[in-house]
Amino acid sequence: MRLKNKISIITGAGRGIGRSIAFAFANEGAHLVLVARSRDQLENLAQEIKERGGRALPVTCDVSSAREMQNLVKQVQDEFGQVDILVNNAGISKRSKLLEYDDETWLEVIRVNLFGTYLCIKTFLPMIQKIGHGRIINIASTAGKNPVPFNSAYSASKHGVLGLTKSVASEVALAGYPGITVNAICPFYVNTEMFSGPRGYVAEMAKTSGMTEDEVIEKAVSRNLQHRIIEPEEVASMAVYLASEEARGITGQAMNICGGLIFH
């Protein structure tokens, strides 16, 4: 029970990586604030966690909206009164060639992935500072370290998340809060709907490249040393570690879970 009674906010919690983190945190004793735009997914997840003996508050919220964030703050304060852990997982991907991007689509990716992460940190950091210790964990991507052709908005947003992570980690420590750590996790392709769903990476690439979906997957996995896709539970395990007391000496870092794709 490494996170016993820790109040943990998880954005993008309705499915994929966020859902796995929610279950992993609940198993470690955390109380959860589950945030996403889909109410049905959140309520189903919250019910599953409650049936296992956990405590979960589902809140629908667009993390890039300051107005909706204020509603989220009020619900968190009313239910729990404090925040110990913030996991910024909400994100979207809209693939296109650079010259064919619709400007509003490109900005939407930046708004959700980067501005949304900034806004969540700005909103909840004062609550974490109030208790003097806590964790901020940003789910980034190997796309934040390596170039990603035909997905420049996503790659730019994740590069930005890594810069934000390092800056906030430095700023928090210099402000006199050594007990608050700020880190990022950089997964390779993860076995979620964003990768293999009907509108995910595999389906899109098969449609645009003329390859079969199996060929797309084989080409993707051939890029890392282990020749495999990452499972969401692996990302969740890293999040639990970074949220725990064991990781108190780690801050400003970007932890790769990539099967040997990159080494920096």
Q: 130-152 pLDDT, tens per residue?
A: 999 999 999 999 999 998 888 99
User: What's the pLDDT at 152?
Assistant: 96
Between 199 and 261, the more confident residue is: 261
Question: 102: which 2 tokens?
Answer: 């619709």
Give the model's pLDDT for residue 205: 85
pLDDT single digits (tens) 20-29? 999 999 999 9
pLDDT, residue 198, reads 83
Name the pLDDT band for 160 (thresholds 50, 70, 90).
very high
pLDDT at 66 over 90: yes
Tell me what the pLDDT averaged over the chain comes to. Answer: 96
**pLDDT of 189-211, one tens digit each?**
999 988 988 888 898 888 878 89
Q: What is the DSSP string of 103-138?
A: HHHHHHHHIIIIIHHHHHHHHHHHHHHHHT-EEEEE
Which CATH number describes the domain made up of 7-190+230-257? Answer: 3.40.50.720
Q: How many helices (H) and strands (E) does the chain have?
A: 10, 7
Structure confidence at residue 209 (pLDDT): 83
**What is the rounded CA–CA span in Å between residue 27 and residue 60?**
23
pLDDT-based confidence at 71, cuts 50/70/90? very high
Q: How far apart are CA 139 and CA 72, in angstroms?
A: 20
**pLDDT of amino acid 240:** 98
Domain ranges of the chain: 7-190+230-257, 191-229
Positions marked catalytic: 154
Consecutive H or E run containing 11: strand 7-11
Is there a contact between 137 and 88 (Cβ–Cβ < 8 Å)?
yes
pLDDT confidence of residue 29: 98
Closest CA to 124 of 178, 66, 163, 167: 66
Q: What would the DSSP string read from start to end of 205-231?
A: HHHHH---HHHHHHHHHTTSTT--PBP
pLDDT at 185 over 90: yes
Instruction: Output the pLDDT for position 16.
Output: 96
pTM, full prediction: 0.97
* 33 pLDDT tier (thresholds 50, 70, 90): very high
